[in-house]
Amino acid sequence: MNGVTIVTDPVWANRLGTVKRLTRPGIPLSDMPDVDIVLISHSHYDHLNFASIRKLKGNPRIFVPIGLGRLFRKKGIENVVECSWWQEKHYNKITLTFVPAQHWTRRSLFDMNTSHWGGWIIQADGKPTFYFAGDSGYFRGFKEIGEHFSIDYALLPIGAYEPKWFMGPQHITPEEAVQAFIDCKAETFIPMHYGTFPLADDTPEEALDRLLAEWTRHQLDDERLKLLKLGELLHCD
């Protein structure tokens, strides 16, 4: 966008502790161009991997939830900007807005919810508007975000939702993801967060099947749903 390369929650790690990656990254790290902006949604290990960030080419500016900057500086990464919910930041005529989510965060025994969590709205004049939701349970904030922004592309999570009694407050189901898409009034839905690491009892295949069934139930236009293969490019201009 505007000649700026933006990466969200970059994780090229093959393992998260004992959890092994299900699929290879869609783009090998060696094939990545210089990165200008990194957007972090929250501090969970499947969204924030310092080894991957350090290996990115270029000198990216990293936008993070408030409370997380101290950890980056402790790791020796200084080009960090902290954001609160609804706060705007600007980079090369691109507007970045940190928006709410229903989630939580923790990386150790002693840092429970000491930093925030959320999603990002990416805007530029004459360009499509993107909504990267990060992780979230279903909440009224999706409607509120849709009232504040005219969203062209919504990247919404559809995986890691079982068992529902435990995962429900923090991860939307595929059915809830469709409702979140309707709530935020986006034009196009790009599903994410369903095939990288085995984080719950559901499977990527089940997540997609349930998403497609719910999409059909709502009689939504198939052209508005983009099921991208790993590494597939989507031209959005």
Domain at 26, CATH number: 3.60.15.10
Residue 1 located in a structural domain? no
Of 162-171, 178-187, 214-223, the poorest mean pLDDT is in: 162-171
Asked if the model's pLDDT at residue 237 lies above 90, the reply is no
The residue among 114 and 143 whose pLDDT is bigger is: 143
Query: Each residue of 27-73: pLDDT tens digit?
Result: 999 999 999 999 999 999 999 999 999 999 999 999 999 999 999 99
Q: Is residue 232 part of a domain?
A: no
How would residue 17 be classed by pLDDT, with cut points 50, 70 and 90? Answer: confident
Does a structural domain hold residue 115?
Answer: yes
Q: Given a cut of 90, is residue 2 above it in pLDDT?
A: no
CA dist 181 and 73 (Å) reads 35
Whether residue 230 lies inside any domain: the answer is no
Whether this model's pTM surpasses 0.85: yes
Q: Can you tell me the distance from the alpha carbon of 67 to that of 55, in angstroms, rounded to the nearest whole number?
A: 23
Residue 129 lies in a domain: yes
Give residue 18's pLDDT. 86
Which two tokens mark 30? 């060696």
Range of the domain at 55: 6-224
pLDDT given at position 129:
98
- Report d(CA 124, CA 96) in Å as an integer: 9
pLDDT surpasses 90 at 82: yes
